[in-house]
Amino acid sequence: MSNNDLQKKYVFKNTYQLICGLVFLAIAIFGYLYSTKHEIYCLFTLVLALYMIWMWSKQRDTSLEVSKKGLHLSNVGVGTKGTIEPILDLPWENVWKMELKKEEQSTMLMVWSTAGQCYAMNITYYALRIRKLKNAIELCSGKPFGAVINDRAQSTGSPAAASGQYEVRCMGVKCGLVDPVTEQVIIPFEYDYIEEEQNDELLAIGKDDRYGFADPKTGRIVIAPKYSNACSFSEGVAAVTRSHANEEVEKWFFIDRDEHIVIEGPFQCAGSFHQGLCPIQKGDKYGYIDHSGRIVIACQYERAFDFAENLAPVAVDKGNGELKYGYINKQGNQVIDFKYQYADTHHEGLATIQLNNRWGYIDTEGRMIIAPQYASALDFENGHAIVTTRGLFGTKLGSKNIKINRRGEKARK
């Protein structure tokens, strides 16, 4: 996508159901006229054709608006006087990949959500699908898709954020930090990567394949880019790594703001501290350490994620390489059975889980609050979540994205 496409609107027409319905209608008519032995099949085909045409009349087109601020996805009603139903707003700093093929009227977006998860959004001419990516670290790392042209985002010589707020923005492939209220630049647009964390601690920044840290309040570079990889500071420390030519695997350790090594490790992989614990990898297994560097939950899991609301989703191997996800508490005790295909951290008391290839929500006690029934589901934010309904016969036909409340009911507009 070029910069000339930055302020345009694309409408992806929902024509797939109509085309299929007309094809089935033609088959039904042909069978009725020229075959006398298959009336029941002709009737079934006719019903199916009418159903698809009816679905097309009720389905909504997908509108993609591209602006300087980011992307806005919405459903536009077909035959309903142009009713618009917002789906998702994405600032540019959350968009990691965007491929738009206008001749096919389709696009693929990869984003890193505020909850720290990676999602793939696939818009075609007949449906929009949102799904969570399990290999988020590999797909949503490196340089974000930079395409924001903000004429007002120019340095004023006073880097401190007047409003106390900040957001990552990109120009081309260079990123900076901007006060969204005053449009004042806090960190100039000269970095390849800035990790956005709203915890007011030091942010990881990247330039020329080296990572350091900056203060989001003042824009001051506290630790110059020197590490081969880094996570933003959380609970006063950050995981970093230095690559050596004779090492095939990066060794992670933890530093404080003064660059003192506070946890030596080394670890094959490390995350960020949440609620006093941090997931780490030793060998081929994952566990958790505390701020002293002591392994408090043994490295015994195939996957391990951040703690939230005193629970963390982890995965075990049930045999034949099949992973099952459950939840443990901060003492390492299993509190929710290992029975899910995938499980995410809790947000606002609910967590997305996958069971029998369908997505639903459980609470912190493992009770099923919203039964698995969706093709995909996002985390709850401000009392609502975006889900994708399942289409006809488990396909994309007739599927749509809706906003639900905590009872699983479609949210009012």
Residue 76: Cβ within 10 Å count: 17
Instruction: Label residue 154 exposed, middle or buried (CB < 10 Å: 0-12, 13-18, 19+).
Output: exposed
User: Tokens 């401190």 identify what position?
Assistant: 160
Listed in sequence order, the residues at least 6 apart from 216 whose beta carbon sits closer than 8 Å to its beta carbon are 161, 166, 177, 186, 187, 200, 202, 203
pLDDT of residue 178: 84
Confidence of residue 293 (pLDDT cuts 50, 70, 90): very high
- pLDDT computed for residue 160 by the predictor: 47
For residues 12 and 102, what is the distance between their CA atoms, to the nearest angstrom?
A: 9
Query: What are the strands, taking DSSP E only, across 181-220?
Result: 185-191, 193-194, 203-207, 210-214
Mean pLDDT for 321-327 is 93
Q: Is residue 284 part of a domain?
A: yes
Q: Is the dihedral of CA 49, 51, 52, 54 positive or negative?
A: positive
Structural domain range at position 15: 3-139
Q: Is residue 381 part of a domain?
A: no
> Is residue 117 domain-resident?
yes
Residue at 129 is within a domain:
yes
Whole-angstrom Cα distance, residue 272 to residue 269? 11
The dihedral sign for the CA sequence 210, 216, 219, 221:
negative
Q: Which residue has the higher pLDDT, 44 or 124?
A: 44
Most confidently modeled range among 15-29, 132-146, 151-165 = 15-29
pLDDT at 145 over 60: no
| 293: nearest Cα among 330, 266, 259, 317 | 266
User: From its phi and psi, is residue 276 left (phi > 0), alpha (psi between -120 and 50) or beta?
Assistant: left
pLDDT at 118: 56
Rounded distance between C-alpha atoms, residue 8 and residue 2, angstroms: 11
In a domain, 344, yes or no: yes
Q: Which residue's structure tokens are 């209220």?
A: 181
Query: Is 174 in a helix, a strand, or coil?
Result: strand
Average pLDDT of the segment spanning 228-256: 84
For the packed helices 39-58 and 16-34, what is the interaxial angle rounded to 10 degrees?
160
Q: Whole-angstrom Cα distance, residue 35 to residue 322? A: 50
Tokens 């970095």, located at residue: 191
Q: Of 115, 139, 163, which closes a domain?
A: 139
- In sequence order, what are the residues at sequence separation of 6 or more whose Cβ sits closer than 8 angstroms to the Cβ of residue 341? 323, 324, 325, 354, 355, 356, 357
Sheet with 106-112, edge to edge strand ranges? 95-101, 106-112, 118-123, 128-132
Domain-located, residue 310: yes
Task: Determine what percent of the chain is predicted with pLDDT higher than 90.
Answer: 36
Residue 341 lies in a domain: yes
| 3-class secondary structure, 78 | coil
Work out how many domains the chain is built from and give that number. Answer: 2
**Residue 372 in tokens:** 């698995």
pLDDT value, residue 314: 96
Q: How confident is the model at residue 16 (pLDDT cuts 50, 70, 90)?
A: low
State the chain's mean pLDDT as an integer: 76
SS3 260: coil
Q: In 3-state terms, what secondary structure has residue 222?
A: strand
- 139, 171, 192 - which closes a domain: 139
The model's pLDDT over 383-413, given as tens digits with 9 standing for 90+, comes to 999 998 887 666 666 678 889 999 999 887 6
Decide if 299 is inside a domain.
yes
User: For the segment 179-220, what is each residue's pLDDT rounded down to a tens digit?
Assistant: 877 778 888 888 888 887 667 789 999 998 899 999 988 889
Task: Classify residue 240 as exposed, middle or buried by CB count within 10 Å of its CB (0-12, 13-18, 19+).
Answer: buried
Cα angle 273-116-174, degrees, rounded to a multiple of 5: 105
Provide, rounded to the nearest whole percent, the portion of the chain with pLDDT above 70. 63
Domain endpoint, select from 139, 169, 189: 139
Average pLDDT over residues 24-42: 74
DSSP 202: P
**Among 97-106, 193-202, 259-268, 375-384, the least confident range:** 97-106
Would you place residue 149 in the very low, low, confident or very high pLDDT band (cuts 50, 70, 90)? Answer: very low
Closest CA to 238 of 217, 260, 208: 260
Overall pTM surpassing 0.75 (yes/no): no
